[in-house]
Amino acid sequence: MKIITAIIKPFKLDEVREAMTEIGAHGMTATEVKGYGRQKGHAEIYRGAEYIVSFLPKIKIEVALPDALVDRALEAIRLAAYTGHIGDGKIFVSPLERAMRIRTGETDSDAL
Amino acid sequence: MHNSFARVSSEDFLILRSPQRGRLEGRGNPPAPYLSPSRFETRLSGAPQHEGGALRRMILGAAAALVTLIISHPALAQEGAMKIDAADTAFMIAATALVLMMTLPGLALFYSGMVRKKNVLATMAQSLIATALVSLLWIGVAYSLAFSGDGAVIGDASRALLAGIGLDTVSPFAKTIPEILFMIYQMTFAVITCALVAGSVAERMKFSAFMLFCALWLFIVYVPSTHWVWGGGFLQKMGLLDFAGGTVVHINAGVAGLVCALVLGNRVGFGRENLSPFDLSLAVVGTGLLWVGWFGFNGGSALAANSRAVFAIVATHLAACAGALVWSGLEWLQRGKPSVLGVISGAVAGLGTITPASGYIMPWHGVVIGLIAGGVCYWFCTVAKHKFRYDDTLDVFGVHGVGGIMGTLFAGVFATRAITASGNDPGVAGLLEGDPHQLLVQAIGVLVTIVWCVIGTLATLKIVSRITTLRVNSDDEREGLDIALHGEALHQ
């Protein structure tokens, strides 16, 4: 099992969700986050007081998947979240040791 | 002959019954020129007229003149002036509500939209408590000290706790509306002036200290200043033109704000951390309420439902529009983007600056004043303030102080005889009409107001600091005043 963590542009969330449903991934957690990468930040000016805002709003999604789906999921997220402009985000994949569905007590792949 | 008859119209006695604020009745002697004599002159000097028509006009003119002469006879005028007028009263009730709306919720929203999220409620609390506290003190004794008696420096206590005010009582300053209405209208000015000061020390002044400050500053600075300018004091006797509060409201609030900001010191993190506004949309709503409310503030300062009120309202609106365009336009040129904060700041700068001149000038003067206000206040808030590195949090001095000073001087520049004349007062000509004298009077008024406000505000802060500390400690400031002072917070 793997957990995919992706940082995407906020307005791309719905497209990513649809793409993940199409490949058969059921369930996703989305969080509003702030961060910076190559896009860096922007300047805000209030009556001449200039503030550099280096943390931009992004959405972080987390999806737990069986190993077999990971490659397709990577491609699906990339295509759905793509705009071609700087700041499109990043996808991380990490190993997932165990999982359990709280309602039934099913474990690991059955719980995904 | 024709002209002198034609100039005397029924409007003369309308104006006669409604002495505008800031000037004394009967200061001048010769009969007042009609508001716009040109209307009659063009008609009379135009194409050859039919004999009968001219005769009829002459008879009508003579009749009108006679009526006016009778009405403007001192004894009769006095009697007429004592009569409470329903239209004036209705208008002033509405104006009173509009001005209170400027503080609640206008100023509360305008200010709290510009602070950080952790201080939104505390900033609203300052406008709320200023309203509650100042209103009660006003009725207690402040109104009496400002508007009764004939002292040059301060009034007397004859109207303390509204003593002597009955259904039929009128104030000598507004003879066609009930005195109780004049009292509460003036109350709304005292309220907003105290509430305005809070903006300069937002996000750091202690609530208890602010309450004490309001209570003392009202009597040390606001009440004497009001008496000097509007209540028969020495500045009014000197002929200072301040239609709706350039000195009394805006210079006082602005200068007191600057003094408070300097005495309390900068906010923690000022110049280093991001102190950007929580929600400018609140400030936009607040500006809308202030803008509309200003029609009651400046229009109502005519103290009657008359042409002067409407002239003031038109000039006020034009100044707000011009100020908004200039401030945001300059930003657009300098920074590449016109900010929403720039639009609303420019509008308020225009509104504040036009205030003292609004009832004495032609509408187009409002545009000029608004343009200058937008430019100068923009420069002051975005360049000068940052050069001096003082933390006037919401630019009370940069907008109201600078605007009030400019506007009071502009009243001496743009004052137009045709507009300032009323009753048997010949009116005042400003610099633009060739008379520099009024500008000198205005400069003295500005200077006196600033000097007393600095002294009075320093004294007030000194007294308050003897009783409690002026600002919260740095831990509370970091945590936010909402939690630290009020035990509440905005969620989400």
Residue A8 per-residue DSSP state: E
Contacts of B275 in chain A (CB under 8 A): 49, 51
B330-339 CB contacts, 8 Å cutoff, 24+ apart: B330/B374, B330/B375, B330/B378, B331/A45, B331/B378, B335/A45, B339/A45, B339/A46
Q: What is the pLDDT of residue B39?
A: 36
Q: Cis peptide before B105, with omega less than 30 degrees from 0?
A: yes
Task: For residue A33, report the phi and psi dihedrals to the nearest 5 degrees.
Answer: -130, 170
Residue A108 per-residue DSSP state: G
B85 close to B177: Cβ distance less than 8 angstroms? yes
Assign B5 to helix, strand or coil. Answer: helix
B198 close to B205: Cβ distance less than 8 angstroms? yes
pLDDT tens sequence across B88-107: 999 999 999 999 999 999 99
pLDDT category of residue B460 using cuts at 50, 70 and 90: very high
Supply A78's token pair. Answer: 């990339």
**Domains in chain B with CATH codes:** 2-81 (no CATH), 88-486 (1.10.3430.10)
Answer yes or no: is pLDDT of B142 > 70. yes
Q: What whole-number distance in Å separates Cα of residue B189 and Cα of residue B99?
A: 7
pLDDT tens sequence across B238-254: 999 999 999 999 999 99
Q: What is the pLDDT of residue B63?
A: 56
pLDDT category of residue B56 using cuts at 50, 70 and 90: low
Contacts of B385 in chain A (CB under 8 A): 48
Q: Report the DSSP beta bridge partners of residue A100.
A: A107
Q: Does A86 touch chain B (CB under 8 A)?
A: no
Supply A69's token pair. Answer: 């789906």
Q: Count of CB atoms within 10 A of residue B295's CB? A: 20
**Domains in chain A with CATH codes:** 2-94 (3.30.70.120)
Name residues whose C-beta falls within 8 Å of residue B95's C-beta, 6 or more positions apart in sequence. Answer: B185, B295, B296, B297, B299, B300
Answer yes or no: is pLDDT of B28 > 90. no
Q: ipTM above 0.95?
A: no
**DSSP letters for A31-86:** EEEEE-STT--EEEEETTEEEEE-PEEEEEEEEEE-GGGHHHHHHHHHHHH--SST
Residue B23's closest CA among B225, B215, B173? B173
Q: Does B88 touch chain A (CB under 8 A)?
A: no
Task: For residue A93, report the phi and psi dihedrals to the nearest 5 degrees.
Answer: -120, 130
Q: Does B269 touch chain A (CB under 8 A)?
A: no
Answer yes or no: is pLDDT of B418 > 80. yes
Residue B198's closest CA among B149, B156, B254? B254
Q: What is the pLDDT of residue B82?
A: 60
Chain-chain contact of B383 with A48 (C-beta, under 8 angstroms): yes
Q: What is the pLDDT of residue A26?
A: 85
Range 25-64 of A in CB contact (< 8 A) with B: 44-49, 51, 53
Nearest chain A residue to B398 by CA distance is A47
Q: Does B284 touch chain A (CB under 8 A)?
A: no
Q: Is B276 exposed, middle or buried (0-12, 13-18, 19+ CB in 10 A)?
A: middle
Q: What is the pLDDT of residue B62?
A: 57
The structure's pTM equals 0.82
Supply B289's token pair. Answer: 């309420």
Residue B62's closest CA among B134, B17, B124, B7? B7
- Mean pLDDT is lowest, of A37-41, B30-34, B59-63, B277-281, for B30-34
Across chain B, mean pLDDT equals: 88
Q: Does B277 touch chain A (CB under 8 A)?
A: yes
pLDDT tens sequence across B353-372: 999 999 999 999 999 999 99
